[in-house]
Amino acid sequence: MSTETDTKVIAELREQFGKGFARRLRAAGKIPAVIYGHGTDPVHVALPGHQVSLLIRRANALLELEIDGTQQLTLVKDVQKDPVHQIIEHIDLLVVKKGEKIQVDVPVSVTGEPFPGTMATLENTTVTLEVEATHIPQNVEVSVEGLEDGTHITAAELTLPRGAALVTDPETLIVGVALPPAPVEDDAEESEEGAEAAESDDAPAEESAE
């Protein structure tokens, strides 16, 4: 988990906007970002590209920004990437306060192996939780160890981190355990037989043409 020291980022205020300026920023190894929330006017900044790219690999990353000597705690809310080159084009940051409760989507991680011969399917990859801004869990683990065919795990059955409250509908299906679908052999055999029959039908026609 990230420590307080490695989430500190020096941000530069920016007064220029537009696609051209954003391109120049990215060419200089920086990422355009906007900070909003708590009734304040949006603040436009430039972030150090390499450092921030590493920090935002985890979901719901917190960044402790230093802007002209002022400290500001922010939560990464949205990362816009170029669909082709996967270059980070822009980041939206939400102002948060220590001790404040916020709602975040937390990834679900499946552990263990279900009963032999069955397979576990993750039906929903995230759950929405209400947590303290400075205590956001990296994931919620759900064990499928030894679970048998027909077992369903809903959001209400998840073991949540201490201090977290479930916002997602408790009846939401998270994981289902079932037997894998049987291979469709009959259709394959029938198609092979049909192909053979078609070939045998073609043979006399070719002979008669000769």
What tokens appear for 47 in the block? 């972030």
Please say if the pLDDT value at position 3 is more than 80: no
* pTM summary value: 0.75
Is CATH 3.30.230.70 what the domain over 102-178 is classified as, yes or no?
A: no
Percent of the chain with pLDDT over 90: 70
Range name among 10-14, 15-19, 125-129, 147-151 with the lowest pLDDT average: 15-19
Which region, left, alpha or beta, applies to residue 39 given φ > 0 means left and ψ of -120 to 50 means alpha?
left
Please say if the pLDDT value at position 106 is more than 50: yes
Whether residue 45 contacts residue 33, with contact meaning beta carbons closer than 8 Å, is answered with yes
Mean predicted lDDT score pLDDT of the chain: 87
- Taking the C-alpha atoms of residue 123 and residue 169, their distance in angstroms, rounded to an integer, is 14
The ranges assigned to domains in the chain are 5-96, 102-178
- Of 129 and 85, more confident: 129
Q: 8-13 and 62-67: which strand pairing?
A: parallel
| Letter string b/e over residues 59-81, b meaning 16 or more CB atoms within 10 A of that residue's CB | ebbbbebeeeeeebbbbbeebee
- Taking the C-alpha atoms of residue 90 and residue 3, their distance in angstroms, rounded to an integer, is 24
Is the CA virtual torsion 167, 138, 3, 60 positive or negative?
Answer: negative
Q: 173-178 and 119-122: which strand pairing?
A: antiparallel
Whether residue 44 contacts residue 90, with contact meaning beta carbons closer than 8 Å, is answered with no
Whether residue 100 contacts residue 52, with contact meaning beta carbons closer than 8 Å, is answered with no
Can you name the CATH fold of 5-96?
Ribosomal Protein L25; Chain P (2.40.240)
Residue-wise pLDDT for 75-99, tens only, equals 999 999 988 888 899 999 999 998 9
- Taking the C-alpha atoms of residue 195 and residue 191, their distance in angstroms, rounded to an integer, is 6
According to the model, what pLDDT value does residue 24 have?
Answer: 82
